[in-house]
Structure 1
Amino acid sequence: MTAEAKTDNGLPIRLLHDRVLVQLEGVDGERRSAAGIVIPATATVGRRLSWATVAGVGPHVRSIVAGDRVLFDPEERSEVELHGSQYVLLRERDVHAVAARRVEPDATGLYL
C-alpha cells in the first residue's frame, strides 16, 4: 500500500474507534435570520450549535453514516486539514443530533 493510498470513503486517512470526521456548512461570520435580518459576527448569542456534513466515520460509530448532517457544539472540536480541505474531528458522543430525512412532498407531516 502506498503513502497516497485512499480508503474506500475517498479520505486519505482511516478513522479509528468512535471518531466522526465532518465538514462544516457555511462560514463563520455574518449570518441571516429566517426573516432575512443580517446578524453580525460580533453579536453575542448563547451557545450556538453548528451543522456539518459527515465525511467519514470510525468502525465503532453506531448511529451515524457518511453523508448525514449532524448538529454539534463547535466549542468541543478538533480541526484538521486534509488535502487543502478543512474538517472537524469529533467523538460520536459529541454529536447532539442527526438531521432527519425529508418527508415526502405529499405527506401531511409527522405526528407524535
Structure 2
Amino acid sequence: MPKKGGSSAGLPVRMLHDRLLVSLEGEPGERRSGGGILIPATASVGKRLAWGAVVATGPNARQVESGDRVLFDPDDRAEVEIQGKEYLLLRERDLHAIAAERVEDGPSGLYL
C-alpha cells in the first residue's frame, strides 16, 4: 500500500498539502445508460459528476488514499499533463464521495 503523500504510479511528482492527482475514468463523450441506450456527448441534462482514480495524494490528505475511486464535479478541476498522460488536480475538499472497499464497522456517519 502506498504511503501518505506518495504516488502509486511512480510519477516524478510529489503532491503538496491536501492536493490530489486524479486519473479520469472513461473517455468524455458518448456513454451508455444502465439499460444499454447510447447517450451522445451533446446530450447533457443538468450537472453530471465524474468518477476518477486517485494516483497521488499530498501529506495533508486525511481521508483519501492512492487507489481510491472518487466522485467530483468536473467543472471544479485543473488539468495537468505528466509524462504524456492527462491528470486532474483537485483538493480533498472538492470531492463529493469516495468509493472505497475499506469501509469499517461502526457508525455510518448518518445522523438519524
Task: Please classify the TM superposition score into its range, dividing by the shorter chain length.
Answer: 0.7 to 0.9
SS for the counterpart of 1:93 is: helix
Shift in CA distance, 102/34, structure 1 to aligned 2, threshold 3 Å? farther
Greater shift after overlay, 93-102 or 59-68? 93-102
| Greater RCO (CA < 8 Å, at least 6 residues apart) | 2
Once the two structures are superposed, residues 51-106 of structure 1 have per-residue CA deviations (whole angstroms, 9 ceiling, x without a partner) of 00000000000000000000000000000000011100000000110003289xxx
1:42 is aligned to 42
2:53 is aligned to 53
Aligned residue-pair number = 98
Shift in CA distance, 88/95, structure 1 to aligned 2, threshold 3 Å? same
SS for the counterpart of 1:96 is: strand
Letter in 2 for 1:65: E
Once the two structures are superposed, residues 13-34 of structure 1 have per-residue CA deviations (whole angstroms, 9 ceiling, x without a partner) of 1110010100000000000000
Runs of 5+ in structure 2 lacking a partner? Answer: 104-109
Which stretches of structure 1, 4 residues or longer, exceed 2 Å deviation after superposition?
none
1:90 is aligned to 90
SS for the counterpart of 2:93 is: helix
Structure showing greater Rg: 1
* Identity fraction in percent: 62
Could you state the TM-score of these two structures normalised by the residue count of structure 2?
Answer: 0.82
Counterparts of residues 12-91 of structure 1 (less than 5 Å): 12-91=12-91
Conserved 8 A contact 2:6-2:57:
no
Letter in 2 for 1:53: A
Could you state the TM-score of these two structures normalised by the residue count of structure 1?
Answer: 0.82
